[in-house]
Amino acid sequence: MGSWTNWAGNQLADGIRVERPRDSEEVADAVGRAAIRGERVKAIGAGHSFTGIARPETVALDLSALDQLLSADRDAALVTVGAGTGLGRLNSLLAGMGLAMANLGDIDSQTIAGAISTGTHGTGEKYGGIATEVVGLEMVQADGSVLTCSPTERPDIWAAARIGLGALGIITRVTLRCVPLFSLRAEEGPMPLDELLSRFDELAAGFDHFEAYWFPHTGSTLVKRNTRLHLAEGLDRRPGWREWWDDELLANRVFGWTVELGRRRPSWIRPLNRVMARALPTRSFTDLSYKVFASPRRVRFTEMELAVPRAAAGPAIREVVGAIEGSGLDVAFPVELRVAPADDIPLSTASGRDTAYLAFHAPASGGHEAYFHLVSRVLEPYGYRPHWGKLHDLDAELLRTRYPRFDEFVHLRQALDPEGVFSNAYLDRVLGPAGPPRPLDTTD
């Protein structure tokens, strides 16, 4: 028997059977055997979800061997890769072919299947999450059969499975629409919080990719503005020493030291935040897109990210700032702010609405409960949607009111997996218990 834990160490499983299939056929065989025995099966990847979405209860399928580039059409900018392919490896493979992913989050440690299944996204009002670029999937179903889907083949399954939470099947292959390799001009530096709040919509609309970090207990933010460029315009990379200084020393080692100091001496958190805010560098450089989008994250944390309507971003951020400052809580990590356009994926946090994201972090050692409860209560009136892979306490009853197509997804899940082979405690909470399909309520 084996065990499993996620990256943050807050999700654990013991006494499970871990299998390591080498291809789709072996995944199908493992699922078929488990279904006959009445066992529950979960695929495991990089473990970068903070919720129990990937927590195995009986059988864990380690898909790390499914990490191959299976096909590529450079002219059509389409690639098919195994589900266990890490985003970092995928980015390098694409760059070698003169291709890139249209958008990325700020880390690249996840597998492609895990990233799309939980709704991983970047920022930019014109550029959706990674799942919006999925044009084909291969999945193993609950009976061990293999299904393929796309906009023209089983489009109902494809539409939902792009962000399927692992509830519809085990993804084994992903086909992605890519773009020609491009660069990003990065402009980063401090900005007063009041200025950020007054200019938020202007800044978000004025750059291809925009994000900001507010340092609690200060009036300072770090603002990142990225502009897409053709490679022909050239690169202006940071020297190797400066890259190490920015990304390894300051963003990881020094920040890790301040987090640890704050954990040991909570009364130091506020002055440490002020020191960090005053030390924010101003920098600009140009590099390949994936090297600007993603950066190393070596300080372990837990996270909650809540999506609110884009039009409500300003008031929502102001309320969160006021609540944190008036709470008496000492918050060590910056609050991250991003934006995304509406999409058509049923369980996407941006489904049907332009979206702003507020992300809250806490040390992996624990103690986040009061903080996360506070900000979720503040954002409740905005009808927030929680990131599926990040901590929250909503259940199916509440989530049904946040997603217009929630019951459509649940009905499909019941049809594809009526016995709950792919379920676990988290999915039972957020989707309701598995069971045979019931007629959809089509009344208005």
Query: Domain residues of the chain, as ranges?
Result: 183-386
Q: Which tokens hold the place of 169?
A: 């099947």
Task: Select from 146, 181, 172 the least CA-distant residue to 70.
Answer: 172
* pLDDT of the residue at 271: 95
* pLDDT of the residue at 444: 46
Cβ proximity of 71 and 28 under 8 Å: no
* pLDDT of the residue at 351: 98
Q: What is the mean pLDDT of each run of 10 residues along the chain (444 residues)?
A: 94 96 97 95 96 97 97 97 97 97 96 98 97 98 96 97 98 98 97 96 96 97 97 95 90 91 93 92 95 94 98 96 97 97 98 98 94 98 98 98 97 96 98 76 53
* pLDDT of the residue at 437: 63
CA 19, 55, 389 angle in degrees (round to 5)?
125
Distances (CA, A) of 18 to 41, 42, 109, 186, 349: 10, 10, 21, 42, 31
Has domain 183-386 been given CATH number 3.40.50.300? no
Q: Return the DSSP state at 200.
A: H
Cβ proximity of 87 and 110 under 8 Å: yes
Number of residues in the chain: 444
User: Which residues have a Cβ under 8 Å from the Cβ of 195 and sit 6 or more positions away?
Assistant: none
Q: Which tokens hold the place of 235?
A: 């690169």
CA distance 284 to 330: 32
Cβ proximity of 188 and 282 under 8 Å: yes
